[in-house]
Amino acid sequence: MKILVTGGAGFIGSHLMRKLQNVGYEAVALDNLSTGLRENLLPDMKLVVMDTHDKAVEDLFQKEHFDAVVHLAAQTLVSDSMIDPENDMYQNVAGTVRILECCRKYGVKRVIFSSSAAIYGDVDEKALPISETLPQAPLSFYGLTKKTAEKYLELYHLAYGLDYVVLRFANVYGERQGDGGEGGVISIFTKRLAQGKGITIFGDGKQTRDFVYAGDIADGIITALTTDAKNTAYNLSTTEETSLNELVQILSRIGGKEITPTYDKPREGDIYRSSLNNAKAICNLDWKPKVSLEEGLRRVLEDFACRR
């Protein structure tokens, strides 16, 4: 199977490219390197440096005859989406439609789309962990663009028969992560610790996130490429809530040094509690996370230590 991975030089993409190579798929990474890095990929991995909006993307589809596309490329910062919603829409909605059009024209059989917990918004505590059927009320333009892109996927399937699987990621973290995105707080914290700097928490630190390791996410994507349980959405998560204060405590324990964070005002568009129900993915995809938060954090800290 020949796979195109948009955003393939990003941190989730780099985990996925390694897994695809290990299982014997032919994978091509497409990345404009605005946030991704060539060094995130192994030397023998194929990278095409190109933006999803470039006209040459269509030539790439015509030449390579991809069987499936994993669409990871996106603007992932909630805060940036609130500052510049027009660019957020351009990257996340128009960019997705551009890829879908190429898929339609050149015989791609399936699209795996990286969506987000941000589409649900700030839900009542009784609704946690959030299931896929919960009404969506995003608080940020980022969440709104992901919701809109999902609707395009549904209509492309109905109109053109293009199969899809939507994967709504919880807060993804792992090696090679930048400071942006929904799991970026771990990258920020671990990087500052490695540099001997202090940590700032925006809010009271009691806000929770469902942190899931990027390698586990890559496993879920690979399963989605061939599952018969397609044309639907799945949460990929741990279902476990971890507060930012608890995250600091775990990092203190792993690092063997007490960390005392400072606190600042909450950021616009951030939700307070988040946890996703992964029962549907466990049942239909036979997927579940394998790497604990503590083990994942150890890997991230070791990765930063090796790259210093």
Query: Residue 92: which residues within 8 A CB-CB, separation 6 or more?
Result: 74, 75, 142, 145, 146, 148, 149
Give the integer Cα–Cα distance in Å for 297 and 43. 26
Nearest to 13 by CA among 2, 39, 1, 24: 39
Report, as residue numbers or ranges, the catalytic residues.
Answer: 142
C-alpha–C-alpha distance, residues 155 and 180, integer Å: 30
C-beta of residue 46 within 8 angstroms of C-beta of residue 21: no
In the chain, count H helices and then E strands: 11, 13
Other beta carbons less than 10 A from residue 296's beta carbon: 22
